[in-house]
Amino acid sequence: MSDTFTFTVDGVEVAAEPGQTILEAAQNAGIYIPRLCHRDGLEPAGACRVCTVMVDGRPQTACNFPASEGVVVDNETDQLLELRRDIIDMLFVEGNHWCMFCEKSGDCELQALAYRFGIAAPSFPFQFPADRQADLSHPDIWIDRDRCILCGRCVRASRDLDGKHVFDFVDRGPAKRIAVNAEARLRDTDADVTDEALEVCPVGALMKKGTGFDVPVGRRTYDWEPIGSEIEKRQTQE
- At 52, is the secondary structure helix, strand, or coil? strand
Binding mask 87-106 for another protein (x = CB under 8 A): -------------xx-x---
Cβ-based neighbour number of residue 49 at 10 Å: 15
Q: Is the dihedral of CA 61, 67, 70, 76 positive or negative?
A: positive
Residues of this chain, 48-67, that bind another protein according to CB under 8 A: none
Q: x/- site string to another protein, residues 103 to 122, per CB under 8 A?
A: x-------------------
DSSP for residue 170: E
Interacting residue with another protein among 134, 170, 184, 193 (CB under 8 A): 134
Site for another protein in 195-234 (CB under 8 A): 209-219
Asked if residues 51 and 23 have their Cβ atoms less than 8 Å apart, the reply is: yes
**Beta carbon nearer to another protein, 121 or 217:** 217
Q: Which of 19, 53, 52, 51 is nearest to 38 (CA)?
A: 51
Q: Which is nearer to another protein, 211 or 235 (CB)?
A: 211
How far apart are the C-alpha atoms of 17 and 209, rounded to whole Å?
42
**78-94 and 109-116 helices cross at what angle (nearest 10)?**
140
Binding mask 136-155 for another protein (x = CB under 8 A): xx----x-------------
Task: Give the residue with the Cβ less far from another protein, 53 or 201.
Answer: 201
Interface size with another protein, residues (CB under 8 A) = 18
Give min distance, CB of 115 to another protein, in A: 16
Length of the chain: 238
Is the four-CA dihedral 16, 19, 21, 22 of positive or negative sign? positive
The residue (of 66 and 129) whose beta carbon lies closer to another protein is 129
Pick the closer one to another protein by CB: 100 or 120.
Answer: 100
Give residues in contact with another protein (CB under 8 A).
Answer: 100-101, 103, 134, 136-137, 142, 209-219
